[in-house]
Amino acid sequence: SQKIEQNSEALNIQEGKTATLTCNYTNYSPAYLQWYRQDPGRGPVFLLLIRENEKEKRKERLKVTFDTTLKQSLFHITASQPADSATYLCALDANNAGNMLTFGGGTRLMVKP
């Protein structure tokens, strides 16, 4: 069956360290993968998109990698800050036909000062 898995346990790290979140998928062949941030009671906010032919994408303190062989994406936040505390969701194009995003369960990140 098709699955997108993110670590359901919260990730606690110290301010200034690099946070690394994992997204694994099975039985999908996505053309792209997206990462979103969601704060409690609010809708997800788009962060980064990486295509299947891209190995790495960067935006300010954020970096995403995409390994289609391992079927895995890693999301890194460098020099993390308490304001980065949120739930981070990965999503992929489930049927290569349009805006049908399938989301992982999300990982809650807690950055402690």
Partner 1 sequence: KAGVTQTPRYLIKTRGQQVTLSCSPISGHRSVSWYQQTPGQGLQFLFEYFSETQRNKGNFPGRFSGRQFSNSRSEMNVSTLELGDSALYLCASSPGPASTDTQYFGPGTRLTVL
Residues that bind partner 1 (CB under 8 A): 31-32, 34, 36, 41-46, 49, 51, 89, 91, 93-106
The backbone torsions φ and ψ at residue 43, rounded to the nearest 5 degrees and listed phi first, read: -75, 155
Q: Closest separation between CB of residue 14 and partner 1, Å?
A: 28
- Our CB check for partner 1 shows the closer of 34 and 80 to be 34
Closer to partner 1 by Cβ: residue 1 or 113: 1
| Cβ-based nearer residue to partner 1, 80 or 90 | 90
- Are 48 and 57 within 8 A, CB to CB? yes
Closest contact distance (angstroms) between CB of 3 and partner 1 is: 12
Of 79 and 100, nearer to partner 1 (C-beta) is 100
- Write down the least CB distance from residue 34 to partner 1, Å: 8
CA–CA separation, 81 and 16 (whole Å): 6
Q: Which tokens sit at 100?
A: 């049908």
- Shortest gap between Cβ of 18 and partner 1 (angstroms)? 25
